[in-house]
């Protein structure tokens, strides 16, 4: 559907849980009280919202969290969303800890693509960043290979941190060995990310261009949106940058977010949203749900204000929003 600023909104990120089995520094470094189960949308409720979204032309869905795979039955949900007529694709973002055990079920459910998060190739730094030894970089590399072997479109997401900057080339080299897009994500000033030092993506680009002098921008669309990509001879995948702060892409933003408690958030930067759970549990019809969704998406703000700390009203953690 088209929002008040003429943007075509086609993509919804759905957080299925705010719980996680890791404690990443920039996301959920310490235990936070988890939302109780009754407050979390049931899978049937999420499916009803997806069906309403499809009626409005929102036909691509990303399953995220917290860690989506800690919630039982995630593959079943993906299968059900895929079965809604009109759905174009359902993809997943995961930290990988439970991916090996669930990969077959996810593929059988029809998962279209997977993003796996890994910020460093160093075991000790990985443990420090994720606050856990639940998964090692070597295990993530094996998972990337397994996903490619299954024919899944596979991407690696690395949040750019001061201490991982020296590894930018090594991380990017994964796209040389495997047909995987390696994407560097600029730290966003949401939750704990707001108190951490941001690394300019251009610093990474300089290092990568020293390693691959023919690295050049490409207009290819690879997925749902905000990353801009670079290609080079010899790279099987692409190098992507998601730099929402330094290169604002709000004019072409195509997404909305659904939190695990049913808040439809039109922009990451602001705490405002529409409580779809209240509507669902109040007994709304499908038509009423669709109209509420239409109204919520229509008022999507023109742009984020991440460059002005005082204007950022979102107080939730990334793990509570879904990234």
Residues at the contact surface with ligand SAM, assessed by CB under 6 A = 20, 26-27, 64-65, 67, 93-95, 117, 157, 159, 185, 187-188, 190-191, 193, 318-319, 322-323
Q: Which stretch binds ligand SF4 (CB under 6 A): 15-23, 179-187, 217-225, 259-267?
A: 15-23
DSSP 22-71: ---TTT--S--PPPPGGGSPPHHHHHHHHHHHHHTT--EEEEESS-GGGS
Binders of ligand SF4 among 241-280, rule CB under 6 A? none
Q: Is residue 190 part of the contact set for ligand SF4 (CB under 6 A)?
A: no
What's the min distance (Å) between Cβ of 39 and ligand SAM? Answer: 19
Q: Is residue 120 part of the contact set for ligand SF4 (CB under 6 A)?
A: no
* Pairwise CA distance, residues 171 & 142, whole Å: 14
Beta strands in the chain (DSSP E): 11-15, 60-64, 89-94, 113-117, 153-159, 180-185, 216-218, 228-231, 239-242, 255-258, 263-265, 274-275
What's the min distance (Å) between Cβ of 72 and ligand SF4? Answer: 17
Q: Is residue 114 part of the contact set for ligand SF4 (CB under 6 A)?
A: no
CB environment 150-161: b (16+ within 10 A), e (fewer): eebbbbbbbbbb
Q: Longest Cα pair distance anywhere in the chain, in angstroms?
A: 59
28 binds, among ligand SF4, ligand SAM, none (CB under 5 to 8 A by kind): ligand SF4
Closest to ligand SAM by CB, 26 vs 230, is: 26
Binding interface with ligand SF4 (CB under 6 A): 20, 22-24, 27-28, 65-67, 95, 117, 318-319
């Amino acid at each position: 559907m088209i929002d008040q600023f003429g943007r075509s909104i086609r993509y919804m990120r759905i957080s299925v849980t705010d719980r996680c089995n890791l404690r990443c520094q920039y996301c959920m470094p310490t235990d936070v009280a988890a939302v109780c189960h009754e407050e979390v949308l049931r899978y049937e409720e999420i499916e009803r919202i997806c069906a309403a979204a499809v009626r409005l032309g929102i036909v691509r869905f990303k399953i995220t969290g917290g860690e989506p795979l800690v919630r039982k039955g995630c593959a079943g949900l993906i299968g059900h969303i895929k079965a809604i007529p009109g759905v174009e694709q359902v993809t997943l973002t995961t930290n990988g800890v439970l991916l090996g055990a669930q990969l077959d079920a996810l593929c059988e459910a029809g998962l279209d693509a997977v993003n796996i998060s890994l910020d460093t190739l160093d075991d000790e730094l990985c443990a420090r960043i994720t606050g856990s030894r639940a998964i090692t970089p070597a295990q993530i590399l094996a998972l990337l290979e397994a996903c490619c072997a299954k024919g899944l479109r596979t991407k690696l997401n690395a949040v750019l941190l001061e201490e991982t900057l020296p590894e930018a080339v090594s991380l990017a080299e994964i796209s040389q060995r495997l047909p995987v897009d390696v994407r560097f994500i600029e730290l966003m000033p949401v939750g704990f990310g707001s108190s951490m030092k941001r690394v300019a993506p251009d610093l990474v680009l300089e290092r990568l261009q020293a390693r691959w002098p023919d690295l050049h921008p490409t207009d290819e669309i690879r997925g749902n949106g905000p990353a801009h990509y670079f290609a080079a001879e010899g790279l099987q995948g692409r190098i992507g940058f998601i730099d929402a702060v330094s290169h604002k892409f709000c004019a072409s933003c195509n997404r909305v977010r659904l939190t695990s408690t049913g808040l439809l958030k039109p922009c990451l930067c602001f705490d405002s949203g529409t409580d779809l759970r209240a509507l669902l549990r109040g007994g709304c019809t499908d038509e009423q749900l669709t109209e509420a969704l239409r109204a919520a998406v229509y008022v999507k703000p023109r742009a984020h204000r991440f460059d002005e700390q005082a204007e950022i009203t979102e107080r939730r953690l990334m793990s509570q929003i879904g990234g």
